Amino acid sequence: MGIKENVDKILEKIEKSAVKSGRKPEDVILLAASKTQPIEKMIEAYKAGIRYFGENRVQEGIKKIEQLQEIKDIHWHLIGGLQTNKAKYAVRYFELIHSLDRKSLADEIDKRAKKIGKVQDVLVEVNIGEESSKYGVSPINLEELIEYSLEKENLKILGLMCIPPYFEDKEKSRPYFIKMRELKEKLERKLNIKLPHLSMGMSHDFDIAVEEGATIVRVGTAIFGERK
Question: At 86, which CATH number?
Answer: 3.20.20.10
Which has the closest alpha carbon to 53: 86, 27, 76, 69? 76
* Residue 104 scores a pLDDT above 90: yes
Q: Is residue 228 part of a domain?
A: no
Dist. CA 101–CA 89, nearest whole Å:
17
Task: Give the predicted TM-score (pTM) of the model.
Answer: 0.97
pLDDT digits (tens, 9 = 90+) for 105-116: 999 999 999 999
Total domains in the chain come to 1
**pLDDT reading at 227 higher than 80:** no
Q: What is the mean pLDDT of residues 112-123?
A: 98
> Domain limits at 118?
3-223
Give the tens place of pLDDT for each residue, 131-143. 999 999 999 999 9
Mean pLDDT for 20-38 is: 97
Confidence class for position 120, pLDDT limits 50, 70, 90: very high
Rounded to whole angstroms, the Cα distance separating 19 from 11 reads 12
Mean pLDDT of the chain: 97
pLDDT(228) > 70: no
Tell me whether residue 33 is in a domain: yes
In-domain check, residue 138: yes
Rounded Cα distance, 42 and 224, in Å: 9
